[in-house]
Amino acid sequence: MKKTDYNGHKNVISSALKNLRTSRGMSQGQLAAKLQTYGISIDQQMVSKIEHNARMVTDYELVYLSAALGVTPAELLPALDAL
């Protein structure tokens, strides 16, 4: 069986994504709208699922999420000792 989670988590960016988004005064819908301008099909519900660790994030989504927030992809990723 294909494993799609790690210790019950679907991604490692959930906390950083929510913190960065809220610190910029963006709603989940606004972030989704910005992603759609890049051609990334993520809606508000998908942003919510990512923030609640209920959805995986692909490498290209990570790149565009960081671009939409004005940060580097590394700023969304936790330190290895936090995993």
Helix (H), strand (E), coil (C) string for 46-71: HHHHHHCCCCCCCHHHHHHHHHHHCC
Q: Widest CA span of the chain, in angstroms?
A: 40
| Mean pLDDT across the chain | 93
Both tokens of 66, joined, read 């960081």
- What average pLDDT score do residues 45-54 get? 97
SS3 state at 15 = helix
Please tell me which residue, 81 or 30, carries the higher pLDDT value. Answer: 30
Domain assignments of the chain as residue spans, ordered by start: 14-78
Count other C-beta atoms under 10 Å from residue 57's C-beta. 19
CATH of domain 14-78: 1.10.260.40
**Burial class for 5, CB neighbours closer than 10 Å (0-12, 13-18, 19+):** exposed
Per-residue model confidence (pLDDT) at position 71: 97
